[in-house]
Amino acid sequence: MTQTYADFHRRSLTERDAFWAEQARRIDWQTPPQQICDVSRPPFARWFVGGTTNLCHNAVDRHAATRPDDRALIWVSTEVGQEKVYSFAELQAEVEAMAAMFVAQGVGQGDRVLIYMPMIPEAAFAMLACARIGAIHSVVFGGFASVSLASRIEDASPKLIVSADAGSRAGKVLPYKPLLDEAITLSTHKPARVLMVDRSLAPFERVPGRDLDYAELRREHDGARVPCTWLESNSISYTLYTSGTTGKPKGVQRDVGGHAVALATSMDWIFGGKPGETYFSTSDIGWVVGHSYIVYGPLIAGMATLMYEGTPVNPDAAVLWSLVEKYRVTVMFSAPTAVRVLKKHDAALLKRHDLSSLRALFLAGEPLDEPTASWIADALGVPIIDNYWQTETGWPLLTVAHHIPGVEAVPTRLGSPGVPMYGYGVKLLDENTGQELSEPNQKGVLVIEHPLPPGALQTVWGDDARFVNTYWQSVPGLEVYSTFDWGLRDAEGYTFILGRTDDVINVAGHRLGTREIEECVSGHAAVAEVAVVGVADQLKGQVALAFVVPREAPATPEAAQALQAQIMKRVDEQLGAVARPSRVVFVSLLPKTRSGKLLRRALQAVAEGRDPGDLTTLDDPGALAQVRQRLQG
């Protein structure tokens, strides 16, 4: 008998231990868990207590034993014009060789390995090698500035750093080694060894006695066998520093067993991935999506994972679809920003390739506006599935799950990422009273009840007090995890994300979410992209400023003025005059990181005449320069 998703979700909370005990069977355990969830020390939670397992075994070895020749890792770089496919047996050999290198340098269980690399296979080998021997990896986005990298080296205190000579983006080589050397100089912690992969993209100097050559050690350890270290479920698998953090970096710490179970379950129920199929995430390993859904998730599910070094428009705007066709991709994961970039190109490019293998496109990382969702849905003819989550949660918090046996599928709804996923006790609370909002369409703070489900962060690395103070004490008297996002829920239970609670603009005493204004502006037919920020104003405290990328640049100043008037009128009509931007600034591109995140705080700083800070991750430095010019013009 088919049950409703609401009943299914309710059971995941009311019969928590029985529910997750069933999901724990999806992975291999050397020792079965003795207790499903230990909540004796709230707000901390320990999952699958006493069970011993290994992430690398579940992602690689168990598949190599039964399907050694099946594809596991597909690497494509349009930057250097190379492609390589590794079977599960070949992937295991590479990971064991890397693990042998680590062991030879004295790296063992609990030691940290910092990975500062571009999107190359060796980065995945390094992550999996750490998982194999019980070391803790901390991946830092490749090309991160020296000062930021130094703070992460200092916080993680790695015994070993794995890096490469350079990365490449849109044909531009970014040397990593000088940045890394400067970071080590700045850090009070000095790693004993640095393992370098030389791609022959940028010359670099080796530090005698410290820097090791990957190619040389790979030959030395060819054929090495390194057994998996079986770890108690709550051992640390990795730390990942949240982007945009100021001051001391905040390392999200994740476990082993809960992480593996959560990913295995999500690959089946949320993404519908099956062994032997191909999963393609366009993210970067430096972000949580890259951890969960480039490296670990697809491999745990027995799928081939496509790892891509390149942009969505090089050599042309059909490159992603050519990969879908060539490697028969069944499930794809990208970001709304990438789709908006493609939206500015000829839609015929989407029809150039055979996309019949593709079952769904998942989009996350920032809110998905209705015009973008409708455009890509019409173009691809497959479900476009929004999903909302965080570095801290590790897997989707809000989406729709279409693949749960015996459970009714939840239809998608444009503008909403969906409904709370199994295991998440989600509430909307009034920001002033902390009371739960029971009526539909009321704006509140999105929170999660204790305990967080498997796969969510355990704590902040080395700082339990910060974990408690940051996430669990924002609502006095209530033990809830704050997402720091505004949301509302409609009458059918769909949640809509309205932006960060700290992205609120206060205009003459009126509190406005930038997300709401962006959604309104993006609905104008002439608008391709938009970013709205609050800018200091002597009279009103703050005013909204809209940076708009038009589909076609206005031909004359008069045309620009007319379009600006139309946009402002639209905001007037839909949100009221108080939300009307003080100005609409037309630009040809918005400042984004290489992973596609809009740098709204940099826009705000430039608009207010302040230093925008570290821009190492900026994809195109010309974007902010253009913003300055247009603001002055």
- Virtual CA dihedral for 332, 338, 343, 348, nearest 10 degrees? -40
pLDDT in tens, 530-576: 999 988 886 677 889 999 999 999 999 999 999 999 999 998 877 77
pLDDT score at 116? 97
Higher-confidence residue of 230 and 369: namely 230
How far is residue 231's CA from residue 54's CA, in Å, rounded to a whole number?
6
Any idea where the domains of the chain sit in the sequence? 5-310+387-471, 503-632
Sorting pLDDT into bands at 50, 70 and 90, what band is 361? Answer: very high
% of the chain beyond a pLDDT of 90: 75
Judged against a pLDDT cut of 70, whether residue 155 lies above it is answered with yes
Judged against a pLDDT cut of 60, whether residue 467 lies above it is answered with yes
Sorting pLDDT into bands at 50, 70 and 90, what band is 508? Answer: low
Sorting pLDDT into bands at 50, 70 and 90, what band is 369? Answer: confident
Mean pLDDT of the region 486-493: 94
How far is residue 394's CA from residue 78's CA, in Å, rounded to a whole number?
29
Which is the CATH superfamily of the domain at 503-632?
ANL, C-terminal domain (3.30.300.30)
Judged against a pLDDT cut of 80, whether residue 617 lies above it is answered with no
Residues in the chain: 633
Lowest mean pLDDT among 121-125, 168-172, 418-422: 168-172
Highest mean pLDDT among 356-370, 411-425, 540-554: 411-425
Nearest Cα to Cα of residue 395 among 424, 430, 372: 424
Lowest mean pLDDT among 85-94, 499-508, 572-581: 499-508
pLDDT score at 542? 84
Higher-confidence residue of 189 and 169: namely 189
Single-letter residue type at 160: L
Q: Does 5-310+387-471 match 503-632 in CATH topology? A: no
Sorting pLDDT into bands at 50, 70 and 90, what band is 254? Answer: very high
**Cβ–Cβ < 8 Å for 176, 165:** yes
Mean pLDDT of the region 319-347: 92
pTM (predicted TM-score):
0.86
How far is residue 403's CA from residue 266's CA, in Å, rounded to a whole number?
10
pLDDT in tens, 190-246: 999 999 999 999 999 999 999 999 999 999 999 999 999 999 999 999 999 984 334
Contacts of 271 (CB under 8 A, 6+ apart): 279, 293, 297, 331, 333, 360, 362, 403
Judged against a pLDDT cut of 90, whether residue 585 lies above it is answered with yes
Name the packing angle between helices 514-522 and 370-380 (round to 10°).
50
How far is residue 571's CA from residue 581's CA, in Å, rounded to a whole number?
8
Residue whose pair of structure tokens reads 């309710």 in the numeric block:
10
pLDDT in tens, 12-32: 999 999 999 999 999 999 999
Higher-confidence residue of 609 and 96: namely 96
**Cβ–Cβ < 8 Å for 130, 100:** no
Single-letter residue type at 556: T
What is the DSSP code string of 165-231? SEEEETTEEEE-HHHHHHHHHH-S---SEEEEE--SSS-----TTTEEEHHHHHHHTTT---PPPPE
Tokens describing residue 406: 């015996």
How far is residue 482's CA from residue 468's CA, in Å, rounded to a whole number?
11
Strands of 495-500's sheet in order across: 426-429, 444-449, 480-489, 495-500
Judged against a pLDDT cut of 90, whether residue 54 lies above it is answered with yes
Give, in order, the Cα–Cα distances in Å from 66 to each of 69, 88, 302.
9, 9, 10
Q: Strand, helix or coil at 584?
A: strand
How far is residue 229's CA from residue 55's CA, in Å, rounded to a whole number?
10
Which is the CATH superfamily of the domain at 5-310+387-471?
ANL, N-terminal domain (3.40.50.12780)
pLDDT in tens, 171-203: 999 999 999 999 999 999 999 999 999 999 999
Mean pLDDT of the region 419-444: 94
pLDDT score at 94? 98
Mean pLDDT of the region 372-386: 93
Judged against a pLDDT cut of 70, whether residue 70 lies above it is answered with yes
pLDDT score at 244? 38
pLDDT score at 340? 86
Contacts of 383 (CB under 8 A, 6+ apart): 359, 360, 361, 377, 402, 412
pLDDT score at 345? 87
Higher-confidence residue of 614 and 174: namely 174
How far is residue 262's CA from residue 456's CA, in Å, rounded to a whole number?
9
Long-range contacts of 379-385 (CB under 8 A, 24+ apart): 379/347, 379/350, 380/350, 380/355, 382/355, 382/358, 383/359, 383/412, 384/360, 384/412, 385/360, 385/361, 385/412, 385/418
Through-space distance between the first and last CA atoms of the chain, rounded to whole angstroms:
65
Mean of the per-residue pLDDT values for the chain?
92
pLDDT score at 130? 98
Whole-number CA gyration radius for the chain: 24
How far is residue 623's CA from residue 587's CA, in Å, rounded to a whole number?
8
